[in-house]
Amino acid sequence: MPCRAVDERTGELLFFNYQTTAPYLHYGVVSSQRELVHYVPIELPGARLPHDMAFTPNYSVLNDCPLFWDADLIERGVYATRYHRDMPMRIGIIPRYGASSDIKWFECRPTFVLHWINAWEEGDEVVVDGYFEDDPSPRVASDATIEAKMFRFLDLHSMKSRPYRWRFNLKSGAVNEGYLSETITEFGMIDQQRAGLPYRYVYSVVPTKGMFTFDGLIKHDVQTGREEVLMFGDGVFGSETVVARKPDAVDEDDAWLITFTSDLLNDTSHCGVYDAKAFGGGPVARIELPERISSGTHACWAAA
């Protein structure tokens, strides 16, 4: 299921959906009154598998990554993905209420972006941060188990997922791109009041090597490059953390980080609350859940 985006300043929900027949992609906007107020087809060369999107106050950011279903197999009812290493990734930038013909496409280095971090506008540019995968379809030995073959698509270390920045010039069509960090990570969360605007901090996960579990959290300062790491401990795995802004917040990291953890050694789960500013100090609150839950991925915060 693809991710959607919510602009907390307007209350609008921005979304896309895709299918195996033309038109292969649609983009839409739902108002704060829960009404579908905009819905347009987006022309693509074939069936694609986009997972996430980003937005700014004026634009929405869509993508056409070169990891998608094999068209010949689809005709036989088989849905298997293939990574086309010789194809560029394309980014489509469309005005929030733009027509299909208003979208501008940009070509970038080949990759698959599972999740974006944030996007914003700077002059003629739209700047987009996300996670670049060096190898979206890592190979494994032919004698590997079926489990190993499955996990090669889930192991962020094998895919070499790292924070990355793209700059798209809407006037000249130029693209500038590069890494923000060499750290393997994904599933970044920010203060949602900064979504669509320039920001400073993103809180990502520390992935387990060879598995699809998370050993800890990373606080990354995208302005200075400084990183702080918080580990959950042996046998403890967490989920994507939500960022809950403090009522009296002044700085961007005046916030609480809230995540669920599962302790496999003690068969327990907890809700952990961390001070984003004192990131390495351990939890300020730890609430045991009545039952152990599975290690999760996505999370969201709904303010009262």
Residue 242 and residue 151 share a domain: no
For residue range 265-283, list pLDDT tens digits in order.
Answer: 999 999 999 999 998 888 9
Secondary structure of the chain as H, E, C letters: CCCCEEECCCCEEEEEEECCCCCCEEEEEECCCCCEEEEEEECCCCCCCCCCCEECCCEEEEEECCEEECHHHHCCCCCCEEECCCCCEEEEEEECCCCHHHCEEEEECCCCCCCEEEEEEECCEEEEEEEEECCCCCCCCCCCCHHHHHHCCCCHHHHCEEEEEEEEECCCCCEEEEECCCCCCEEEECCHHHCCCCCCEEEEEEECCCCCCEEEEEEEECCCCCEEEEECCCCEEECCCEEEECCCCCCCCCEEEEEEEEECCCCEEEEEEEECCCHHHCCCEEEECCCCCCCCCCCCCCCC
* Cβ contact 66:85 at 8 Å: yes
Q: What is the pTM of this model?
A: 0.95
Answer yes or no: are the C-beta atoms of 219 and 276 closer than 8 Å: yes
Cβ neighbours for 163, distance < 8 A, ≥ 6 positions apart:
117, 129, 130, 131, 132, 179, 180, 181, 183, 185, 188, 202, 204, 220, 222
Domain boundary among 120, 152, 184: 184
Residue 24 covered by a domain: yes
Whether residue 64 lies inside any domain: the answer is: yes
Please check whether residue 279 lies inside any domain of the structure: yes
180 domain-assigned: yes
Are 4 and 67 within one domain?
yes
Note whether 52 and 158 are same-domain residues. yes
Q: Which residues contact 172 (CB under 8 A, 6 or more apart)?
A: 124
Number of domains in the chain: 2
Among residues 133, 160, 184, the one where a domain terminates is 184
Residue 146 placed within a domain = yes
Domain for residue 189, yes or no? no
Q: Are residues 231 and 172 in the same domain?
A: no
Which of these, 226, 287, 288, 213, lies nearest to 253 by C-alpha position? 226
Same domain, 158 and 274: no
Side chain identity, residue 118: N
Q: How far apart are CA 201 and CA 186, in angstroms?
A: 14
Do 125 and 92 belong to one domain? yes
Give yes or no: residues 140 and 218 share one domain.
no
If asked whether residues 54 and 143 sit together in one domain, one would say yes
Note the pLDDT of residue 141.
64
Please provide residue 100's backbone torsions phi and psi, each rounded to the nearest 5 degrees.
-55, -35
**CATH number of the CATH domain containing 30:** 2.40.128
* Max Cα–Cα distance, the chain, nearest Å: 58
Whether 18 and 46 have beta carbons less than 8 Å apart is answered as no
- Residue ending a domain, choose from 184, 219, 244: 184
Domain that holds residue 213: 194-304
Same-domain check for residues 158 and 242: no
pLDDT tens-digit map of 18-73: 999 999 999 999 999 999 999 999 999 999 999 999 999 999 999 999 999 888 88
What is the percent of the chain with per-residue pLDDT over 90, rounded to a whole number?
81
**Domain shared by 141 and 228, yes or no:** no
Strand partners, 19: none
Residue 196's pLDDT is 98
Same domain flag for 137 and 218: no
- The number of residues in the chain equals 304
pLDDT tens readout for residues 122-144 = 999 999 999 999 999 887 666 67
The model's pLDDT over 247-267, given as tens digits with 9 standing for 90+, comes to 999 999 999 999 999 999 999
pLDDT at 149 over 90: no
The answer on 116 and 5 residing in a single domain is yes
Answer yes or no: is pLDDT of 147 > 80.
Answer: no
Residue 11 belongs to a domain: yes
